[in-house]
Amino acid sequence: MNLSIGIVGLPNIGKSTLFNALLKKTVADAANYPFCTIEPNVGVVEVPDERLPKIAEIVNTQKIVPAVVEFYDIAGLVAGASQGEGLGNKFLSHIREVAAIAHVVRLFEDDNVLHVSNTVDPLRDISTIETELVLADLATLEKQKDLSVAARAKATKEEGHRADAVIKLKNHLNAGNPARTLRLTDDEAEAAKDLHLLTMKPIIYVFNVSEEQLLDKEGTQKRIEEILRSLPLSQDDSPVGAIFLNAKLENEVLALDESDQKEYLNQYGLEETGLNRLIKKAYETLGLISFLTGGELEARAWTIKKGTLAPQAAGAIHTDFEKKFIKADIVPYSTFVEIGGWTKARDAGKVQIVGRDYVMKDGDVVEFKIGA
């Protein structure tokens, strides 16, 4: 599965600057006026994984294929976007099917960078975007047919669950609440999936801070925690995902080679780039892990959900593999590297042979055995 993230936020908060940094090159026109992004920018970014080069070295392959993240950067939203204000709902459709939303929020003060509301107020700005997403979702729900009593009598169970979900969601959103905070039954949640509601998606807040705020980690973190405490939790009461970074700095850092990057980041007490932290936070928020394959052809990382069974993991490589799955050979990454590859792992009895009920773990190095 490919991880996809939609980037949203008000104009002039650093969205396109962040997008440029994520792609390590300028592909979006970061200008100091609203709506400079007039078409959705889509970029594919490799997921950093220091395990792959080591596996490639052991299996003697030159080809490394990391997992990837697709980022969708859309035009800055403003109040009334769901009704067509600014460049409006034209762009909301572009993020209907992403797995998560990265909501970029301006925390930095800079008189040289205009704010659409003239003042920096993170909670107000978050509320503005959330309101527009809620209104866009309500417009989606209004298109769904209400089942009459007679229609319900003839409806399938799934249609009934969907109708129940739509009614609950309409009431919840009309009260100004995002869909992710509504507790639906498992059947209702499953039936509502293909609605692709924006406010049902997991959200990661990306606070764009100044260099001074970046240096004052403790103070900045405290301020962000205060903001987050004022926001609604998800339906399972899990904490809201958030990171902070300086988008301009990210652009500068990613123009350097790896050793210079580390030195530059060290000046701000950072161990890794905002890109890495955002991707890790996305994996954490969405409950994703990676399993690894390594052979003469390539060393590769594959993204799956936590709790995925071995046959479904095989299906991530090719859909036929799930149906024809027989068994899988598994070696934990640390063991694979320590012992020196498949042959030595088998000789030492370190390969675990698993069947259909095996739950995949992050960092499993795998060879699937597939029938004809």
Give the pLDDT confidence of 149-199 residue by residue, as tens digits. Answer: 666 777 788 888 899 999 999 999 999 999 999 999 999 999 999 899 999
Q: What is the pLDDT of residues 22-61, one digit of tens each?
A: 776 544 444 444 444 445 578 888 888 999 999 999 999 9
pLDDT band at 237 (very low <50, low <70, confident <90, very high): low
- Are 26 and 20 spatial neighbours (Cβ–Cβ below 8 Å)? yes
pTM recorded for the entire structure: 0.85
Token pair belonging to 311: 């046959």
Q: Give the N- to C-terminal CA distance of the chain in Å, as an integer.
A: 24
What would the mean pLDDT of 333-340 be, rounded to a whole number? 97
**Per-residue pLDDT, 26:** 42
Cα dihedral angle (72, 287, 59, 66), rounded to 10 degrees? 0
Mapped onto helix, strand or coil, the DSSP state of residue 233 is coil
**Helix then strand then coil, % of the chain, to nearest 5:** 45, 20, 35
pLDDT above 80 for 251: yes
* DSSP letters spanning 329-362: EEEEHHHHHHHTSHHHHHHTT-PEEE-TTPBP-T
> Tokens in use for 184?
């639906």
Please state, in angstroms and rounded to a whole number, the distance separating the CA atoms of residues 32 and 47.
30
Task: Kindly list the distances between the CA atom of residue 331 and the CA atoms of 267, 272, 339, 351, in Å, as whole numbers in the listed order.
Answer: 39, 28, 10, 5
Tell which residue, 140, 136, 106, has the closest CA to residue 123.
Answer: 106
Q: Higher pLDDT residue, 183 or 114?
A: 183
Mean pLDDT of 278-295: 93
What CA–CA distance (Å, rounded) separates 69 from 82? 27
- Residue identified by tokens 């596996």 is 55
